[in-house]
Amino acid sequence: MSSNTLGNNMPRPLVAKIHVSAMAHNLSIARKKCPTSKLWAVIKADGYGHGLERSMRGFSQADGLAVIENKDALQLRELGWTKPILLLEGIYHSSDISIAAKNYLHIVVHCVEQIEMLEKMSNGFRIDVYLKINSGLNRLGFSPEHAAMAHRRLKATAIVHSISLMTHFANSYYLENPLPGISVSEQVSRFNHAVDDLDGERSLADSAILITKPEITASWARPGVMLYGATVFPGVKASSLDLLPAMTLESEIICIQRISAGDGVGYGTRFVADRAMTIGVVACGYANGYPRSAKDGTPILVDGIRTGIVGRVSMDKLALDLTPVANAHVGSKVTLWGRGLPIEEVADAADTISCELMCGLSHRVTTIETPV
C-alpha cells in the first residue's frame, strides 16, 4: 500500500465534540451561585477529559485554576494563564517547592511531611499554601485537633507567604438522601471548630455545595464537574440546573444485523432476543472509554431517536436495538452522551458517575472543538 493511500485514509467515525462556550456558560452559573466568592475552576485530569488548553479558555473568567500535576500547571503558564494556579495535592518532593515558587503556584499542604519539606527549604522563595483539614472524608488533611499545630508551623516557616484553609466533603452529593456516615453539616462544624482561631481565607464548596448550599461557600469555591455540564446527584440531570453539556460523544452505525428470536448478541450472550430484531453495531467500545458495565437498555440515540444498547460492550464495538429507528442504515449518526442525551443517564445505567465517563475518554478518540 502506498504512503499516499495511507495518507488519504478516513478516520474512524468516533469523535468527542467539545463545546468551549458551554464551559463558559457553566462557569457563569457557578458564579451566580456564589457572587461574593472567588472561584477555583478545577481542571484536573486534563480538564475532566475536555483538554487543558480548552478548559483554560472555557474558564478564562475564573479567579484561578486547580490541577494535580506540576506539568499541567507549567503548561498553563506557557499557554499564558497569569492568574493563580492551585496544586490540589501539593508537593511530593522538595524539588517541587522551587518549581511552585518560581511559577507562582499555590500548594495544598495536607501532611506533616510536606511541612517538613517547606521548613528545610532555604529562604529566598515565597509561596502561598492551603492548609487542608480532614473533617471527615479521611483522605487527605490534618485532623481537626492538629490544625492549629500545622498552622503555627507553617506561619513560622520563612518561605510561606500566606495560609488559606480548606476541607473537602464526603457526602455533598447526597444532601436530600444522605448516606450512612458523616453529614455535610457535621463536617462544616468540625472544620469551623478546627480553624475558628486561625487566620486565612477559607475554601469549602465543591460543585454540589455550590448548587445546594451556597451559603457555606466561604472565600473561595472549587467547582469541578458542574463546569463540564454534568452532576453526580442521584437522579438529577444537569439540564435541570441550567448547565450545558461540554462534551458530546458521537459515532456511527457500521454494520446492521437481523436476528431471530433466541439469537444472542455479544460476548457471553448476555442478551438473547425474544423476537426478530434489527441490531446496529456502533464504532465505540470500552477501549474508547464507553463503560463495559453498561446494562442492556442503556440509553443511546440513533439519528436523534432514543433506543438502548443490547449485549455486552466489547473493546471496540457495542450493539443497539434498531427497532425504534425504522430508517437506520450504515452511517446513521449515534450519540453516546452529550447534547440530546445526558451523560448522567449513561452513568446511572453503568453504575458509575459522569466524572468517570468524561475522564475515561481514550486518546484513541478524535477530539474536536465545536460551538454549542
Task: Supply the residues annotated as catalytic.
Answer: 44, 267
DSSP letters of 46-101? Answer: HHHTT-HHHHHHHTTTSSEEEES-HHHHHHHHHTT--S-EEETT--SSTHHHHHHH
Cα–Cα nearest to 22, from 230, 209, 176: 230
SS3 182: coil
Q: Tell me the H-state helices in the chain.
A: 3-7, 20-33, 44-48, 52-58, 70-78, 95-102, 112-120, 147-155, 184-195, 207-212, 343-349, 354-359
Half-sphere exposure of residue 242: CA atoms within 13 angstroms, side-chain side:
11
Contact, 164 vs 201, CB < 8 A? yes
- End-to-end CA gap in the chain: 40
